[in-house]
């Protein structure tokens, strides 16, 4: 998966920015879907999954940092 590799190379700040951007896009896509104006319905799924990937990566980094603090 090329996308997860791209996300892993980003810094924490970049991930936070991208997550905020995707949340805004998700919000707009939901409105478009509700009013039947959406051009690419599959984009909703792509955005949702990318948000999940970012959150998973953030949680992994937090667990590693917590494990390093305990040692």
Residue 61 has a pLDDT of 95
- Report the alpha-carbon angle 39-41-45, nearest 5: 140
pLDDT over 70 at 2, yes or no: no
The domains located in the chain, with CATH, are 10-70 (1.10.287)
54: how many CB neighbours lie within 10 A of its CB? 19
pLDDT average, residue stretch 30-58: 96
For residues 38-65, give the mean pLDDT: 96
Is the confidence at residue 18, as pLDDT, over 70? Answer: yes
The rounded distance, in Å, linking the Cα atoms of 27 and 23 is 6
Q: pLDDT-based confidence at 70, cuts 50/70/90?
A: confident
**Residue whose pair of structure tokens reads 């959150």 in the numeric block:** 55
């Amino acid at each position: 998966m090329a996308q997860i590799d791209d996300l892993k190379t980003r810094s924490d700040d970049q991930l936070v920015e991208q997550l905020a951007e995707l949340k805004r896009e998700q919000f707009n896509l939901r409105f478009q879907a509700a009013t039947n104006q959406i051009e690419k319905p599959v984009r909703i799924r792509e955005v949702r999954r990318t948000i999940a990937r970012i959150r998973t990566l953030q949680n992994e980094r937090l667990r590693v940092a917590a494990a390093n603090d305990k040692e």
